[in-house]
Structure 1
Amino acid sequence: MEEHVKLLADWLDEHTGETVVIEKQELDDGDKVYFKLGGVDYRDSNSVIDDYLDSALILHGTGSTMNGDGELVALPGTSYEIAVSGLSFGSAGSDKVTAKTERANYTLTIE
């Protein structure tokens, strides 16, 4: 596991049991997810059979996202994936971290 991925996984582990607000900006699309974090796992792309799966941090718990009408709706599953290919940090603090990957920019805050 790369150093920046380990740092993000450790930051998330410190906040197990708390609600993490995940703001993701990918191209012209922005998402905001409220996620009650139960735990974190790492998936290495070398250990999966499917070629389309990339390395990722798998956040376990429950969450909701804001729909187009401004209403919170439950996520369809009990996990949230952050692809970590090319992960680098913009900043990190006790209640907030910003990170960038090859695909998206993330801001994670503790609610």
Structure 2
Amino acid sequence: MSQSINELSEWLESHKGETLLIKKGELATGLQQVFDIDEVTLQLEHITVVSNEKSIDDYMPSQELVLHGNGSIQSPEGEKPLPQNAYEIPLYGEVNTTNEKDCLKVETEKAVYDIHLH
């Protein structure tokens, strides 16, 4: 696991039992412009790291973090329950993290995540 993924895992582990607000912005292919922003609230119970060692294309990340807990996602129709009480963060390509006071910013090749204590 890379240093950034370790930092992300450790930060999340240190906030088990707390409520997180996760804002995810998809990155336009080949551009650094954010579109399609999702907002999730999650009571973090635990995390798992899933390795997809047999990933041979860009459709499956080599690793992903799965955040387990009760939560909801904001949609145009209003607030909806989080499917299967889990939120996945696919770790495509190089992963960079920036740790701020009560927030961790995570950047992958395909998305930007701002994870705040709520």
- Runs of 4 or more, structure 1, over 3 Å off, are 48-53
Unaligned 5+ segments in structure 1 are none
Which aligned pairs between 1:18-37 and structure 2 lie closer than 5 A?
Answer: 18-26=18-26, 27=28, 28-37=35-44
**Partner AA of 1:30 in structure 2:** I
2:70 is aligned with 1:62: yes
More deviation in 25-34 or 52-61? 52-61
What's 1:39 paired with? 46
**How many residues end up aligned between the 2 structures?**
108
2:83 alignment partner, SS class: coil
What's 2:15 paired with? 15
Could you tell me the TM-score, scaled by structure 2's length? 0.83
CA distance 1:14–1:68, change in 2 (3 Å): same
What's 1:73 paired with? 80
1:102 alignment partner, SS class: coil
Q: Give the alignment's Cα RMSD to 1 decimal.
A: 1.8
2:106 is aligned with 1:109: no
1:20-62 CA-partner distances (Å, limit 9, x unpaired): 111000042000000110001111121x689754210111111
2:84 alignment partner, SS class: coil
Could you tell me how far apart the structure 2 residues matched to 1:19 and 1:94 are? Answer: 15
